[in-house]
Chains A and B, each alone.
Chain A
Amino acid sequence: MKEHWSDRLQRFDRRWIFLVMGLAVVVPLFFPLGLPAKPDRMTKAAFNAVDALPEGARVFVSIDLDPASTPEIEPFFRAVILQLKRKNAKLVFATTWYQAPPLVDRYMRETIEVAIAPAGTAGYSGLNDRPYRKNVDYVNLGFRDGKGAIIQAFGSSLRLAFDNHADDGTALERIPMMRGLEKLADFDLIVLVSAGSPGAKEYVQFVGTRERLPMIAACTAVSTTDLAPYFQTGQLIGLVGGMAGSAGYETLVGKPGAGTAGADVLNIGNIVVILAIVFGNVVYFAGRYHRRQRGAS
């Protein structure tokens, strides 16, 4: 008996799907759709939390990511740093991921010690920022291992957790901006750039809820569902999920970047997945109908 087309398609070579997905990712990078990236409610809440900070606020930023997650979260990081530098916020950085320090060093060089949006930046009409000076405007405390335990230690004493030294060896008591900053509760806001574990979840579970800390988080898209309950209960006052969230945040800050460019890839990629689902169901139901017909006859 001649093979039905649905049976042939059941053995469909997956590499065609890989090829279509590859094109869906690459083509929008060369031919952007330019669809606006509108922020969702959780992203707006995060933006508003940073916007409500006073001039010169003291902010703790935990950068817990690896190179794999930078496309999703780095755009948020750059946007929030611009927003914080516009407010002349004093920034303290730390990380609990061992893969992160070289990334953190790069971010210090590219976004903190230089102006992200100096005067005359094309396509940007917001307030300009300025280069920050190490140990004057920002402090990089460095990396500490220990997952939940070390995050708990941040909550009780940052100085003990980092042996009273910044990452470059400078004693914390010799850094004027660290005066009065003993633990996480001393900061006006905590920004969690979190690609997984340890990350935002551990901060919420081990210190945030206990100390009632004001925290916003950015996470990968897959972790958004995991952290959304914490936003719902107010344990996180803002949540930026995945590249879509980062693109929305860039829109709010007013400086589109890699997130906005990646949003087109996200759109087309999602269409490919939806079409794959629809195609798979068409094949499945056609095959089922054909088998029923064959059985009846």
Chain B
Amino acid sequence: MKKTLPLLFGMVFGAYAVIEFYIPHHLVGSLSDELRSWAAILAAAAFIIGGINILQVTWPKIRRREPDWQYKVVLLAAAAVMLLAGLPWHKLGDTPATPTVLIEAVPGPAHLVVNAPADVTIQVGAVIAPPRPDGARYQADVGPGTVEVKLSRRVPGYRTQLAPITITDGQRVTVTGDPPMLWGREGRVFVWIYDHIFSPSNATMFALLAFFVASAAFRAFRARNLEAALLLGAAILMMLGRAPLGRAISDVFPDLAQWILDVPSNGGRRAIMMGAAIGAIATALRIILGIERSHLGSDA
């Protein structure tokens, strides 16, 4: 039963996945959508298991002060910080603050005053107010009618505040606002961590490839035999052809590089792709048909 049930599941759902490609009927489509939803839910649930696995593996190492346990503390702390920063805390509690609007009767033309911190951009209708480094209030005479005052911070991660006001001559309208910080994916903390920690770290790891390529090129591109010589010759020609330097030396290099790309590379690539695709179909069929059982144990 322990091996039969997984085998049966694999056969039934695998066969269904193949068959549904050929049946356009909407009932089959609905069932497929439902199964995809189940798969998405399972995958999401598995992330929780993954998180627990990280804790199960990491915590004992910290407790036992194994070598490099400090890095495990950094790992757990970073995971906790991102989790907390990614939750939309601003949706809890009271409704978000809106700008306050005070209307006073003051003789003269319609006058608008906006109070906001120095790092807030004030936009009145389509007009963006000039910067106010000293945080002074913005004020101007405006035409009577309805106008929207928009307050936003220059850095991302803050809510934009909107205040539509109707103003007439003989009125002074004072709008006071301070865009609050957001949490969650668009929040200040999350975006700051993304821009200042995740992005540079991500780019740094990718940049290591440049050094490793040079090191691997020194070590491995040796003309030991004809095939290796062809490989390194093609590599040099491609590098010269794809970089602007090659064209600066001679127009032959880019054309040669393009020919290598268009003819031998594409030909070989298509052959490997087709072979791999046929191999993938055969592998999938043998799992669906129950011929392949090594994933269930050697005595299945």
Q: Show the binding face of A for B, using Cβ within 8 Å.
A: 12, 14, 17-18, 20-22, 25, 35-38, 40-41, 66-71, 99, 101-102, 105-106, 109, 145-146, 149, 221, 224-226, 228-229, 232, 241-242, 244, 247, 263, 266-267, 269-274, 276-277, 279-281, 284-285
A270 touches B239 (CB 8 A): yes
Q: Which residues of A contact B36 (CB under 8 A)?
A: 146, 149
**Does B222 have its Cβ within 8 Å of any Cβ on chain A?**
yes
Q: Which of B259-273 contact A (CB under 8 A)?
A: 261-262, 265-266, 269-270
Q: Select one of A66, A146, A226, A274 contacting B269, CB under 8 A.
A: A226
Q: Is the CB of A105 within 8 A of B156?
A: yes
> CB-CB contacts of B240-266 with A at 8 A, as 1s and 0s?
101111011000001000100110011
A–B pairs, 14, beta carbons within 8 Å? A36-B248, A38-B244, A67-B198, A70-B203, A102-B190, A102-B195, A146-B36, A263-B244, A267-B245, A270-B242, A273-B213, A276-B218, A277-B217, A280-B218
B287 within 8 A of A: no
**Cα distance, A99 to B200, chains bound together (Å):** 13
The listed residue (A17, A66, A225, A270) touching B240 by CB distance below 8 A is A270
Query: What mask results when residues 44 to 77 of chain B are scored 1 for a CB within 8 Å of chain A, else 0?
Result: 0000000000000000000000000000000000
Q: Are B206 and A280 in contact (CB under 8 A)?
A: no
Residues of B that sit less than 8 Å from A by CB: 36, 40, 156, 185-186, 190-191, 194-195, 198-200, 202-203, 205-206, 210-211, 213-215, 217-224, 232, 235-236, 239-240, 242-245, 247-248, 254, 258, 261-262, 265-266, 269-270
Most chain B C-beta atoms within 10 Å of own C-beta, residue among A38, A66, A266, A277 = A277
In the complex the two chains form, what is the Cα distance from A25 to B262 in whole Å? 30
Q: How many A-B residue pairs have CB under 8 A?
A: 128
Cβ of A228 to closest chain B Cβ, rounded Å = 5
Complex contact A281–B265 (CB within 8 A): no
A273 to B194, CA, bound (A): 32
CB-CB under 8 A from A145, the residues of chain B are 40
Q: Let me know if A17 and B243 touch, CB within 8 A.
A: no
In the bound complex, do residue A35 and residue B221 qualify as a contact, i.e. CB atoms below 8 Å apart? no
Closest Cβ–Cβ distance, residue A250 to chain B (whole Å): 12
User: Shortest Cβ distance from B260 into chain A, in angstroms?
Assistant: 9
Instruction: Given the known inter-chain contacts A18-B211, A67-B198, A263-B243, please indicate yes or no for A276 contacting B248, CB distance below 8 A.
Output: no
Per DSSP, chain B at the interface is helix
Which residues from B are CB-within-8-Å of A35?
A: 244-245, 248
Minimum CB–CB distance for A278 against chain B, Å: 8
Majority DSSP secondary structure for residues of A touching B = helix
Q: Are B236 and A277 in contact (CB under 8 A)?
A: yes
On chain A, the residues within 8 Å of B211 by CB distance are 17-18, 21-22
Residues in chain A near residue B215, CB distance under 8 A = 14, 17-18, 276
Residues of chain B within 8 A (CB-CB) of A244 are 242-244
Contact B244 A67 (CB under 8 A): no
Q: Is the CB of A273 within 8 A of B247?
A: no
Contact indicator B269/A225 (Cβ below 8 Å): yes
Residues of B within 8 A of A101 (CB): 185
B245 lies within 8 A of A270 (CB): yes
Cα distance A35–B156 in the bound complex, in angstroms: 37
Residues of B near A41 (CB, < 8 A) are: 258
A284 neighbours in B (Cβ, 8 Å) = 222-224
The distance from the CB of A270 to the nearest CB of chain B, in whole angstroms, is 4
Closest to A195 in B: B206
- A92–B284 CA distance with the chains assembled, in angstroms: 37
Residues from chain A with Cβ under 8 Å of B239 in the complex:
270, 273-274
Query: In the complex, which residue of chain A has the Cβ closest to the Cβ of B254?
Result: A40
Q: How far is the CB of A95 from chain B (nearest CB, A)?
A: 13
Q: Nearest residue in A to B236 (C-beta to C-beta)?
A: A274
CA distance A203 to B217 in the complex (A): 33
Contacts of B191 in A (CB 8 A): 102, 105
Measured CB to CB, the closest approach of chain A to B264, in angstroms, equals 11
Q: How far is the CA of A277 from the CA of B237 in the complex (A)?
A: 12
Cβ 8 A contact of A266, one of B185, B243, B269:
B243
Residues in A with CB closer than 8 Å to B254 are 38, 40
Interface centre among A99, A225, A273 (most CB of B within 10 A): A273
Whether the pair B245, A271 counts as a contact (CB closer than 8 A) is: yes
Give the chain A neighbours of B258 by CB distance below 8 A.
Answer: 40-41
A202 to chain B, nearest CB (A): 14
Task: Evaluate whether A69 and B214 lie within 8 angstroms (CB atoms) in the complex, with A35-B245, A37-B244, A228-B261 already known.
Answer: no
- Give complex CA distance A18, B215 in Å: 7
Which residues in A have their C-beta under 8 angstroms from that of B218? 12, 14, 17, 276-277, 279-280
| Chain A residues in 8 Å Cβ range of B269 | 225-226, 229
Please determine whether B203 and A102 come into contact, CB atoms closer than 8 angstroms: no
- Output the nearest chain A residue to B198 by Cβ-Cβ distance: A67
Q: Who on chain B is nearest to A268 by CB?
A: B245
CA distance A37 to B191 in the complex (A): 34
Contact A25 B210 (CB under 8 A): yes
Q: Please state if A225 and B261 are interface contacts (CB–CB under 8 Å).
A: yes
Shortest CB–CB separation between residue A233 and chain B, in angstroms? Answer: 10
B-chain residues with CB within 8 Å of residue A221 when the two chains form the complex: 242
Taking CB atoms, residues of chain A closer than 8 Å to B219 are 280
The interface residues of chain A lying within 8 Å CB-to-CB of B194 are 102
